[in-house]
Amino acid sequence: MNRAAEQPEPNPLREGLSARAVPQPCTIVIFGATGDLTQRKLIPALYNLAADGDLPPAVAIVGFARREKSDDEFRTELEEATRKFSRQAVRDEIWKTFAQSIFYHQSEFEDEAGYKTLAKRLDEIDEECGTRGNRLFYFAAAPDQFEPILKHLKAAGLNETCKGSWARVIVEKPFGTDLASARELNRIVRHSFSEEQTYRIDHFLGKETAQNILVLRFANAIFAPLWNTHYIDHVQITAAETLGVETRAGYYERAGALRDMVQNHLLQLLCLIAMEPPIDLSADSIRDEKVKVVRSLRRFAQSEIAANVVRGQYAQGAIDGKPVAGYRKEPKVKSDSQTETFVALRLYIDDWRWADVPIYMRVGKRLPKSATEISIHFKKAPAVLFNKNLSDQNVLVIRIQPDEGISLRIHAKVPGTSFRVEPVKMDFHYGTSFGKASPEAYERLLLDAMSGDATLFARRDEVEEAWAFIDVIESAWSAKKDAPGLFPYPAGSWGPDEADDLLARDGRAWRRL
Ligand code: BG6
């Protein structure tokens, strides 16, 4: 592999964490091009980049899938989807030019010949479009297809770089289903692409406010002295969704909320909150610090799981006043399904900074509201002067979505002749402060992969450490004897009562969202 080609070119104009890299001309090959992800996220993200003038000067997109269709049919399908799912309204003249760079390649994933013709087609596209032999392979297919795709890419020589060009692979989640399968997948990927060529996507890392966590922590001097066990009482992380399982039961029945959201998105957010300052902003310096957090998570013994992890499953209830079915009545879900749609956990990071600070996390489907936020609850002021009767603490809230922003709860005197003290909020909203909408996570991440910047992608060791932590919980849940219960909760509620008890036992409560 040509390592020189992997060095990002400097671009002082790019905003964000990685102000170093500039996206390079390339062809993006999407495996699983007729699937949901391509239509809802990938093509709309690429269109928005094109509309904002952020794409490199030459980009081509090749959809690789089984069904027969022409380039034009594929373009029409994608146009419909983009009109439906795009962040910005589709402008005809921009779509017209953008669509010219979209192509369709029909092949079975297991068919060697299909990759040989792909290689030929990519060479032609390089000639036609000026994409310079750079290739970004996006794995949006089902995970059991990854192995044949990788094998055939290698056999066709498409994993190699030559004449200063590069080849990279973006792998979608789920990245394995446990530690053993993640290791196996890593091994298979490694066989064809080096770690530097591999980009494991976790779209939460591309969310604007998630990226802002490091800026908040390391560009502001006031928080650093307080960011530790001496001043922080506890941390809460909530990722709530009103949506149910929708049409994804085939995947979700085998995954459940712990694998679907905690192993990746929630642990990644926790890493950004808890990591030590990196020595610089390079991908590896940041990921070196993040992986230490996962490694420092206190590992539960199987007998401790019930006291620290609560799992729930939504039953029939109502969302926004409309009745909705319980999980077991959803299409393709087993009538006695044991899959959790809600998890609440109490974790500890056993390092110097976080010793004995509880971290409470909860994630669930069919909750009353869609919102993701992190709250840092500071210790109470001494119970003298104004604070004798105050039960509230100072709380720093990082709203990941919606209404991205940051707020700080402080105490203030209520105007008037008496000395009444009440909590008030200092509030920063991205939308109003910067007057422009945040890009979608996939926009940022695709651009970073085109730039060779892996900062916002999960490294091999991060993924494996996270699975090692999750595996203990999964195996306690699947034990034949004394497995912790699966508690039902009505759709539209904040999960089972047992999740509230988890905090109540420590004299705390979940923040109201
Ligand atoms: C995905 C999960 O990774 O993230 C879904 O598989 C979940 O179950 C989704 O709904 C949430 O992402 P977002 O960006 O909509 O909050």
Among protein residues, the one whose CA lies closest to atom 14 of ligand 1: 204
User: Which helix H or strand E contains 117, and what residues bound it?
Assistant: helix 112-129
What is the CATH number assigned to the segment(s) 26-172?
3.40.50.720
Structure confidence by residue, pLDDT tens digits, 224-233: 999 999 999 9
- CA dist 468 and 178 (Å) reads 8
The 10 Å Cβ neighbour count of residue 253 is: 17
Residue that the structure tokens 């089984």 belong to: 66
Distance from the CA of 246 to the center of ligand 1, in angstroms?
12
Distance from the CA of 357 to the center of ligand 1, in angstroms?
28
**What are the Cα distances from residue 145, in Å, to 108, 111, 171?**
10, 12, 12
Distance from the CA of 264 to the center of ligand 1, in angstroms?
11
Q: Starting from the edge strand earliest in sequence, which strands make up the sheet with 309-315, in order?
A: 421-429, 405-413, 395-401, 371-378, 232-240, 359-364, 342-347, 309-315, 486-490
CA 181 to chain centre: 20
Among protein residues, the one whose CA lies closest to atom 6 of ligand 1: 260
Q: Which atom of ligand 1 is nearest to the CA of 173?
A: 3
208 lines ligand 1 (CB under 6 A): no
202 lines ligand 1 (CB under 6 A): no
Burial of 505 (0-12, 13-18, 19+ CB in 10 A): exposed
- CA dist 79 and 53 (Å) reads 19
Distance from the CA of 344 to the center of ligand 1, in angstroms?
17
Is the separation of the CB atoms in 108 and 152 below 8 Å?
A: no
Q: Would you state the pLDDT for residue 448? A: 94
pTM metric for this prediction: 0.92
Nearest to residue 464, comparing CAs of 195, 63, 153, 248? 195
Give the N- to C-terminal CA distance of the chain in Å, as an integer.
49
User: Which helix H or strand E contains 287, and what residues bound it?
Assistant: helix 283-296
Let me know how long the chain is.
513
Pocket test for ligand 1, best of 260, 342, 401, 440 (most atoms within 8 A of CB): 260
448 lines ligand 1 (CB under 6 A): no
**What are the Cα distances from residue 305, in Å, to 206, 237, 483?**
31, 19, 9
**What are the Cα distances from residue 494, in Å, to 27, 314, 404?**
45, 10, 21
Nearest to residue 252, comparing CAs of 170, 365, 139, 146? 365
- CA dist 155 and 318 (Å) reads 53
Which residues lie below 8 Å from residue 89, measured CB to CB, with a gap of 6+?
none
User: Which helix H or strand E contains 92, and what residues bound it?
Assistant: helix 92-99
3-state secondary structure of 360: strand
Among protein residues, the one whose CA lies closest to atom 8 of ligand 1: 260
241 lines ligand 1 (CB under 6 A): yes
Distance from the CA of 172 to the center of ligand 1, in angstroms?
12
**What are the Cα distances from residue 487, in Å, to 220, 360, 369?**
42, 18, 20
130: left (phi over 0), alpha (psi -120 to 50) or beta: left
Which residues lie below 8 Å from residue 371, measured CB to CB, with a gap of 6+?
238, 240, 399, 401, 402, 513
- CA dist 358 and 346 (Å) reads 6
Q: Which atom of ligand 1 is nearest to the CA of 401?
A: 16
Distance from the CA of 40 to the center of ligand 1, in angstroms?
12
Q: Which atom of ligand 1 is nearest to the CA of 241?
A: 10
Selected catalytic residue, list 152, 203, 265, 377: 265
Q: Would you state the pLDDT for residue 14? A: 44
**Yes or no: is domain 205-379+453-504 CATH 3.40.50.300?**
no
Domain boundary assignment for the chain: 26-172, 205-379+453-504
3-state secondary structure of 300: coil
Q: Would you state the pLDDT for residue 13? A: 39
The tokens describing 22, both together, are: 């500039």
What single DSSP character describes residue 247? T
Pocket test for ligand 1, best of 42, 173, 175, 203 (most atoms within 8 A of CB): 203
Pocket test for ligand 1, best of 87, 241, 404 (most atoms within 8 A of CB): 241
My answer on whether omega of the bond before 358 falls inside 30° of 0, hence cis, is: no
498 lines ligand 1 (CB under 6 A): no
The tokens describing 131, both together, are: 């994409």
Distance from the CA of 243 to the center of ligand 1, in angstroms?
10
Q: Would you state the pLDDT for residue 21? A: 61
Query: Digits of tens for pLDDT over the chain (513 positions)?
Result: 344 445 454 444 344 444 456 889 999 999 999 888 999 999 999 999 999 999 998 999 999 999 999 999 999 999 999 999 999 999 999 999 999 999 999 999 999 999 999 999 999 999 999 999 999 999 998 888 999 999 999 999 999 887 789 999 999 988 999 999 999 999 999 999 999 999 999 999 999 888 899 999 999 999 999 999 999 999 999 999 999 999 899 999 999 999 999 999 999 999 999 999 999 999 999 999 999 999 999 999 999 999 999 999 999 999 999 999 999 999 999 999 999 999 999 999 999 999 999 999 999 999 999 999 999 999 998 888 877 777 778 999 999 999 899 999 998 889 998 888 888 999 998 888 887 778 899 999 999 999 999 999 999 999 999 999 999 999 999 998 888 999 999 999 999 999 999 999 999 999 999
40 lines ligand 1 (CB under 6 A): no
- CA dist 469 and 294 (Å) reads 8
User: Which helix H or strand E contains 77, and what residues bound it?
Assistant: helix 71-85
* 265 in active site: yes
Distance from the CA of 265 to the center of ligand 1, in angstroms?
9
- β 59-65/371-378 pair status: unpaired
- CA dist 171 and 200 (Å) reads 5
